[in-house]
Amino acid sequence: MESIAISTYPQVVWRAGKKMLWNTIHRKPLKNLPEERVRLRIIEFLIRAGWSKHRISTEESIGKLAGTEMRTDIICYSQQFEPRILVECKAEYVPISGDTARQAARYNQHVEAPYLLLTNGVTDFWYQMGGQKVKKLGTRPSGLPENLSQFQKNFEYWRERGFAGEKASPVLRKWFMKMLPEIWDSRHYADIRYLSFNQELSDLNLSHYYYVHSLEEERRLAFSTLTTAYGGSRMTAILNEQNKNRAVLEINLDLLFDESSRNTTVYSNGGTHLFDLSDYFDLDTFLKPSELSEKLLEVIKEYAT
């Protein structure tokens, strides 16, 4: 079934110019790793759904197997501090397999939780334990809501997750609150991917969640809004053809909404081009994600060769 983590994103923090994940349980920064992102997304859901963070443990040692220490991803405890749910997390691109189930079952021999959750942040598999029997569930256990649609995501939510910069002007904040829920909610989640990049663009770490629009055969455009280490806001669009990144568009949203010219840059084999995006279209006009993707492509094609 669809994961409880859909449309839930981990918090990010900057440390010494590096973008890292923020663990709300232990209140410390962590390396930005695929499995860690999924674990923090699950924790984010549980806390927002009302589960006390004081009754959620991560990486709890439960003994050794063949000389190797076993550590659980997540254990959720009841109000009586009895194990309630054992969660095994995999990266988003890793399918849940029989090996995953067997690992969780081995761990649960030590934990003895009545429920197991196997997840990659896209698909969840729920199981109920009863003695020596394991029952696969078709619905989530009672006590967990179906989704988080009833939870309002304000500007602070998007800022903490690296989609909007803290220095955004009031007019830019208003635009963020109109556009970000439209882009990142569950209606479009099939088109959302976390993309990792080894290289940075000026002061921008490009690794983030992106809306990926398939334009035609072997051509895709991915775009996102990101923050800089110093609280700035950017929008980036990356044109990929035949599995190779051909051009990158970077919009300085702070400059654009401050009506400053030369707010946008295209990087490609044809060189670097700096210009005013408002000469091409008004970003403040409401556009659906697919429509925005088409507009950004038109701008890139003007300069990329």
**Segments making up each domain of the chain, as ranges:** 12-137, 155-303
Q: Which residue has the higher pLDDT, 181 or 132?
A: 181
CA dist 208 and 96 (Å) reads 23
Average pLDDT over residues 15-44: 93
Question: Which pLDDT band, with edges at 50, 70 and 90, does 67 fall under?
Answer: low
Q: What is the pTM of this model?
A: 0.90
| 12-137 classified as CATH 3.90.1570.30 | yes
Residue closest to 15 by CA, chosen among 6, 3, 23, 4 = 23
Q: How many CB atoms lie within 10 A of CB 18?
A: 12
Reduce the DSSP state of residue 280 to 3 states and report it.
Answer: coil
Is 56's pLDDT higher than 90?
yes
In this prediction, residues 268-297 reach a mean pLDDT of: 88
Q: How many CB atoms lie within 10 A of CB 260?
A: 12
Q: How confident is the model at residue 118 (pLDDT cuts 50, 70, 90)?
A: very high
Per-residue pLDDT of 208-222, as tens digits, reads: 999 998 877 788 999
